[in-house]
Structure 1
């Protein structure tokens, strides 16, 4: 064999460390040319300024080659010092794509075998290991846990935000109702759960067909008191499929978890993921976190344990500009008849002549039913990969609807030219849903929604030259995306796209007013983007070129840091230090919404409980006074809802004048009225009914949520007179009878009212599709039924009432005019029973 070392003129060649030099020496495929300018700038900056840091966040636009950049950084570290390197992906598809790219570029990579065993080429430092994040983060990981963890030197986490969700799932115990431990835990906490919601507990216990289950939290004081009993219950079942992959992570950390219960499942999840258990991750010398340029990285502080200084100083291309083209339209701004129903009817039906693939993102499978009825195909877990591949391979005449999946799906170029976001995204897990219900004014929830919206928008524009039309529909999403609370957390690029979309939608509105049709105005706009109108392209470019790239600095950095450190203090028994960190949040943000102050006071109470039961209960009582959606303390008096002292018409005038414009008022009313439909989530429906009370000039509350007993909704109509409402809007519209449990719930609500509101009268209403009583059902009081047609009639009156209100300048609106309109639209409450309810049928 020829010894080429002897024939070389230069001396022995060392392995290059500078990543661009590594790239030049790679045996790449012939179609793999030089690095892009952005890749080269980022790699040089990392090499000169970041490679010695423990943690680095890398932000590059989608389609600019982050995968190659990450692989080159890992190879550079291996060449410099040797060691083991891992490239973690959020799913199998991206892991396969990464391995394919690595081979094309000539970078030596490997994957685990079918049993997850770690290959020798990785352990010897000869190859980069490419696996999913789930391979590392699970209780039976081949990397081992704690002190036995396999040593790993360098890690890249691709799509760090998606990996946060995967890690959270890996550290969460999910017990379905059929699991042997489910009933044991429900029985253990039965009394505690009842105190947090009698009606909700009964629905959970009965597990009937009335739609999605309510959620009840196990109070922290009960959870901490019975830590050992819970541990014993779970330990007995630790080899079941639901527990065996997570039990090794949480078996000694039950105290640090929270528990929520529904009729379908129990969730047990730590307040922050115990990342220290995964030594391969926690002790790595250099970690690189890939993140989109539009994403708020504050979530990485709690989700991945990063320091705030890492988040505020990411590695990014200094010459970064905008990337990709989106025409973002809100059809209902062009005309109110271009509502959600119109969008479904016109973009959901199959079309053999379709020229552009259309994809819809909805927050839930229930939200997808309207699209399915319109002719769209709804993807399931088993079919989504096949359906997405079909879109990539050609034009499909059927619209694809994807439920509650805003990331992990890449639809570049012709795969999706029309993307529709329908409905406001909400929490995916039971715990997230519970937190959203408790924290309606939370900036954290707003930031999470903004992040999900950004992720959704990113599905269809995957490169610098990619383009698509985005339609925003669903009154709750329209209201959210136009609200300051959400816009504060959107990237500059997305905010600019929203502003541009509003501007051109309003111009199209003018076209409609000048004798055009709303449909033709919308379709003309869509064609200008998709048929590549040069004036549109230049207008978009000019608008986006005017942006000055800004680092996304979130106001949540300090809060997330304090929350994470407080949890660490609590886990180490430093209870007073944990309380002090929460108090520091309250002191730093004195203008924080009262509901949020209540939340943090409840957190301080949890930290104090193991040291002082009495002190914790005092704090909990204070938290509940600020936010009645939180845990009800062990002993607290119910405060009676009083009617507003002033005239009802004056209250309506004040409610209207709270809005900055008639457009904001219209958005609020549309959101309320569109949420009051059969089939809408119970939480959304009951919250909307609560808001409707204020919009109609009444004092309003939700006793079952706020006091953990009583009816779903209560309006104080006038002194001593109330409207009591139980909502069963999620039952099937084909239901023939009111069952015994439903009539029993209303009877219990009436009994609660008689006990707490002595000497007062109530009009009792059950919102349900049928008036007929089933076997064993019956009412102890006079009850009226609000069926679908009654509800629709009532909501129609509310809408037409406010349509007339919009005609006035808000500041010129008088109580006399409001009273006249209330009478005209039959919204005087003396007419309510006759106009909008039906009698019970025996």
Structure 2
């Protein structure tokens, strides 16, 4: 054969903008002015920076900017360039744009390494083409892309779990390959957690509020149990692919990880992903992060494990302008849940094509089932449109229902005009949930939550002239978007859209909702007038930054340095960095996060301690006390000072019993919604109605305990007690006589039955194990038989009439607390709630303090 002639190398202009005339296969006439501006800033200031972030809002053409930089570096520096996307669909979409619109050579890599075409591999390894692939193709234990020179991370705001997942071992308890490992680890930690926590961890509970429970195993306990934990994980190392690849990365660094215990789940991971240990990422000459929002407060650095990332902000005109128009519909402000579902289906059928985003597969399946009898209506899942969405777009009647996919797939213009958001993509992993719910550190995640929600709401508005209706369900998402306290941190046009949507959604019927939706969908004169109102209103709005972002930004380099030092067992350096963080976190909004870092400093001091009461040990206890003082209403911190008598907390702090109750109360009230009072008042009516009827009194009593923040239940079977209210260390178990009369004599048999209830409960209910249980009789009786006296000395007395009056007052107290409840974990609200419940006698301790011993309260008959 004859020898092939070598093609001349691609020309390399001095700047990325200079590529444009060289891309002769392009179909675009020119780059837009703002794109050229950003490319010019990059060429002038950022070419040699190791980490660069570029803010490129939706509709601003970020793919062009990213691909131009990628192609320029490939040509000028002969770089091997890898362009990362969150999903396979976006990989294919990006390759198509590169080839067809910009005339740039790119090759997509999806699926297994073994299936990569040899020619494609050669094009990347020789630097002939840009490689476009998914995040998971780079962030894994054995990546094919092991030595890229330049890495571009598209949609970085969606990358947090793709990056952190490499060092995150999630172990569910559900039936599957990891259930045995979960059971083994749960058995190891069981002696170190409460019976209630163990029940939640293993799934042995019935209370729906326990489904959101999350906690953290103290680092001291992790250190103590390390040999057992490692042995259990080693024994199950081949249980799944995740364990096989992730556990070896964590095994020798368990001291630098946290173990989170959640409802039916265990998560092992470091606070910050140690990306510096992953050579393909760390050794690249440059990493470029592209996102619709860069986030404030160092959030991007925390997500990527990089100490400092230079930034190129979007042009000012793009920061001021909104992208498209959204008509927010909040049916839950006027309708019951069943009516909301029926309305959504009516709108979906009218729209023809709709997109539904849900947090989980269960919710997605439930929505899909509503179309089981609609033979002419097609249902698409995320997998169905992973490679291409063409079949969905061609369908006249279809719904794309996707679980856990709040960004990454776009449906611009007429592809879809109805987006249904069912639930809030707020805290996507146990660590985030722990920081928000346990530590009250929502300020840390404000920007991240906002980005998730707004990216989800923008799936069908991808350009300035685009528009879509956004149908919002799920109480958390409703509370977040309909709460005007959140709006001031949003873009002015979004504020106006939400204001308009809330106003249109209050006090209206399903027919009203449909008429408004049809007006929007048909783009008629009525909607044109409404759109004008939104535009005018937006001019009056001002966007304000979230509080304390400057402090969070100032400490992030210390956070990354702390994690790096701890990973390599440089405990002295880790302690130094942790102390630097606590000294800089002074804003009141960061009390919970400051408490966490005092705790982490104390944990490192413990690692440095050689013996009890040495300097490092005392320093550790001082840090734990500082943690408790920083966030006295955080239940989890109470265990840090338990048993430590040589150091006492400063100031008055709520007891652990009260803080646990407040945390649960907060979850109960949030579950009932903050945007509307419908659910709360419906619950209150049920409680009062049940308490008024002797036949349903026990259920009303149990429901009231739920509302107060206690773990509740009701006995069934022989000798079982009536309802019980449980806290973290004590509990009340009732013996009710709601159908009794004041003239009835309380018998010795009834007294003995009541006195044995604590024993029955501790024998039959794991959550009551080791609790200090007290029996309480609720009765109209005022007289007891002589034989009842010995056992009535072990029982407390509560008059039935007094209990009902107390219950009504309790509901008034809870209603007042609910009015001031923010939609996220708030330490100030928790402190006020703890003080209110204690001072108004609504804690287990204060309730029992007011109840007399039954033998003293009742008249005892003589022999």
Q: Give TM-score, length-normalised by structure 1.
A: 0.69
CA contact (8 A) 1:475 1:671 kept: no
Change over 3 Å in CA distance of 1:41–1:415 after alignment to 2: same
Aligned pair partner of 2:126 in 121, 124, 127: 124
Whole-angstrom CA distance in 1 between matches of 2:258 and 2:204: 22
Offset of residue 745 of structure 1: 8.0
Change over 3 Å in CA distance of 1:672–1:430 after alignment to 2: farther
CA contact (8 A) 1:217 1:261 kept: yes
Q: Deviations over 1:233-284 (max 9, x none)?
A: 4445545523333245334322222223467553222221121122222122
Q: Give the match's secondary structure for 1:359.
A: strand
Query: Is residue 166 from structure 1 mapped to residue 162 from structure 2 by the alignment?
Result: yes
Aligned pair partner of 1:616 in 620, 623, 642: 620
Q: Give the match's secondary structure for 2:405.
A: coil
Change over 3 Å in CA distance of 1:23–1:309 after alignment to 2: same
Query: Is residue 281 from structure 1 mapped to residue 286 from structure 2 by the alignment?
Result: no
Offset of residue 139 of structure 1: 0.6
Change over 3 Å in CA distance of 1:205–1:280 after alignment to 2: closer
Whole-angstrom CA distance in 2 between matches of 1:53 and 1:715: 52
Whole-angstrom CA distance in 2 between matches of 1:263 and 1:536: 45
Q: Deviations over 1:531-571 (max 9, x none)?
A: 32433344444555777899999443234444323222333
CA contact (8 A) 1:641 1:699 kept: no
CA contact (8 A) 2:439 2:634 kept: no
Whole-angstrom CA distance in 2 between matches of 1:207 and 1:750: 13
Change over 3 Å in CA distance of 1:530–1:84 after alignment to 2: same
What is the aligned length? 692
Q: Deviations over 1:756-777 (max 9, x none)?
A: x6xx73779xxxxxxxxxxxxx
User: Quick check: 465-474 or 70-79, which moved more?
Assistant: 465-474
Whole-angstrom CA distance in 1 between matches of 2:361 and 2:179: 25
Whole-angstrom CA distance in 1 between matches of 2:656 and 2:304: 45
Change over 3 Å in CA distance of 1:748–1:67 after alignment to 2: closer
- Map of 1:329 onto structure 2: 328
Q: Which has the higher helix share?
A: 2
Q: Deviations over 1:114-158 (max 9, x none)?
A: 526782332222221212111111112224xxxxxx432212111
Q: Give the match's secondary structure for 1:78.
A: helix
Change over 3 Å in CA distance of 1:71–1:552 after alignment to 2: farther
CA contact (8 A) 1:330 1:473 kept: no
- Map of 2:140 onto structure 1: 138
Whole-angstrom CA distance in 2 between matches of 1:508 and 1:183: 48
Whole-angstrom CA distance in 1 between matches of 2:9 and 2:216: 66
- Map of 2:520 onto structure 1: 529
CA contact (8 A) 1:91 1:132 kept: yes
User: Quick check: 123-132 or 290-299, which moved more?
Assistant: 290-299
Query: Is residue 26 from structure 1 mapped to residue 13 from structure 2 by the alignment?
Result: no
CA contact (8 A) 1:182 1:266 kept: no
Query: Is residue 89 from structure 1 mapped to residue 81 from structure 2 by the alignment?
Result: no
Q: Deviations over 1:748-804 (max 9, x none)?
A: 66675645x6xx73779xxxxxxxxxxxxxxx999xxxxxxxxxxx99x979x979x
Q: Deviations over 1:11-49 (max 9, x none)?
A: 9995323323312211325x4332233323322332233
Query: Is residue 314 from structure 1 mapped to residue 305 from structure 2 by the alignment?
Result: no
Whole-angstrom CA distance in 2 between matches of 1:420 and 1:781: 54
Whole-angstrom CA distance in 1 between matches of 2:24 and 2:249: 42
Q: After the TM superposition, which residues 731-742 of structure 1 pair with which residues of structure 2 at under 5 Å, given as runs? A: none
CA contact (8 A) 1:368 1:378 kept: no
Change over 3 Å in CA distance of 1:393–1:605 after alignment to 2: farther
Whole-angstrom CA distance in 1 between matches of 2:160 and 2:567: 21
CA contact (8 A) 1:295 1:454 kept: no
Q: Deviations over 1:487-516 (max 9, x none)?
A: 46x5425xx32334324643775xx6xxxx
Change over 3 Å in CA distance of 1:477–1:83 after alignment to 2: closer
User: Quick check: 126-135 or 478-487, which moved more?
Assistant: 478-487
- Map of 1:630 onto structure 2: 636
Q: Give the match's secondary structure for 1:276.
A: helix
Whole-angstrom CA distance in 1 between matches of 2:42 and 2:214: 47
Aligned pair partner of 2:147 in 151, 159, 175: 151
User: Quick check: 95-104 or 367-376, which moved more?
Assistant: 367-376
Change over 3 Å in CA distance of 1:332–1:106 after alignment to 2: closer
Q: Give the match's secondary structure for 2:471.
A: strand
Whole-angstrom CA distance in 2 between matches of 1:372 and 1:572: 49
User: Quick check: 160-169 or 250-259, which moved more?
Assistant: 250-259
Query: Is residue 35 from structure 1 mapped to residue 39 from structure 2 by the alignment?
Result: no
CA contact (8 A) 1:711 1:749 kept: no
Aligned pair partner of 1:601 in 590, 598, 601: 598
Q: After the TM superposition, which residues 754-793 of structure 1 pair with which residues of structure 2 at under 5 Å, given as runs? A: 754-755=772-773, 761=776
Whole-angstrom CA distance in 1 between matches of 2:592 and 2:777: 29
User: Quick check: 540-549 or 64-73, which moved more?
Assistant: 540-549
- Map of 2:469 onto structure 1: 469
CA contact (8 A) 2:171 2:181 kept: no
- Map of 1:647 onto structure 2: none
Offset of residue 294 of structure 1: 7.9
CA contact (8 A) 2:307 2:560 kept: no
Unaligned 5+ segments in structure 1 are: 6-10, 144-149, 644-654, 679-691, 705-709, 726-740, 765-779, 783-793, 807-828, 830-842
Unaligned 5+ segments in structure 2 are: 373-377, 610-616, 645-653, 660-664, 687-699, 713-722, 736-758, 780-793, 797-806, 820-846, 848-863
- Map of 1:272 onto structure 2: 272
- Map of 2:113 onto structure 1: 115
Change over 3 Å in CA distance of 1:297–1:391 after alignment to 2: farther
Q: After the TM superposition, which residues 281-680 of structure 1 pair with which residues of structure 2 at under 5 Å, given as runs? A: 281-293=281-293, 298-307=298-307, 310=310, 313-320=311-318, 321-331=320-330, 336-349=333-346, 354-367=350-363, 371=367, 374-375=370-371, 382-383=383-384, 385=386, 389-396=390-397, 399-440=399-440, 442-483=442-483, 486-487=486-487, 490-493=489-492, 496-503=493-500, 505-506=502-503, 518-532=509-523, 533-543=527-537, 554-555=549-550, 556-588=552-584, 589-592=586-589, 595-612=592-609, 615-616=619-620, 619-620=623-624, 623=627, 626-630=632-636, 632-633=639-640, 635-636=642-643, 639=655, 667=675, 669-670=677-678, 672=680
Q: Deviations over 1:297-341 (max 9, x none)?
A: 84211111344562xx424234424243233435359xx533544
Offset of residue 468 of structure 1: 0.8
CA contact (8 A) 1:156 1:287 kept: yes
User: Quick check: 266-275 or 585-594, which moved more?
Assistant: 585-594
- Map of 2:786 onto structure 1: none
Whole-angstrom CA distance in 1 between matches of 2:728 and 2:684: 16
CA contact (8 A) 2:441 2:590 kept: yes
- Map of 1:791 onto structure 2: none
Whole-angstrom CA distance in 2 between matches of 1:74 and 1:219: 45
Whole-angstrom CA distance in 2 between matches of 1:747 and 1:209: 12
Change over 3 Å in CA distance of 1:229–1:534 after alignment to 2: same
Cα RMSD (Å): 5.0
Change over 3 Å in CA distance of 1:743–1:96 after alignment to 2: farther
Offset of residue 358 of structure 1: 2.9
Whole-angstrom CA distance in 2 between matches of 1:163 and 1:22: 29
Q: After the TM superposition, which residues 62-81 of structure 1 pair with which residues of structure 2 at under 5 Å, given as runs? A: 62-81=58-77
CA contact (8 A) 1:325 1:465 kept: yes
Change over 3 Å in CA distance of 1:156–1:508 after alignment to 2: closer
Change over 3 Å in CA distance of 1:460–1:230 after alignment to 2: same
CA contact (8 A) 1:181 1:234 kept: no
Whole-angstrom CA distance in 1 between matches of 2:158 and 2:624: 34
Change over 3 Å in CA distance of 1:457–1:77 after alignment to 2: same
Offset of residue 441 of structure 1: 5.2
Q: Deviations over 1:61-105 (max 9, x none)?
A: 323322222111122123222222111111211111222222223
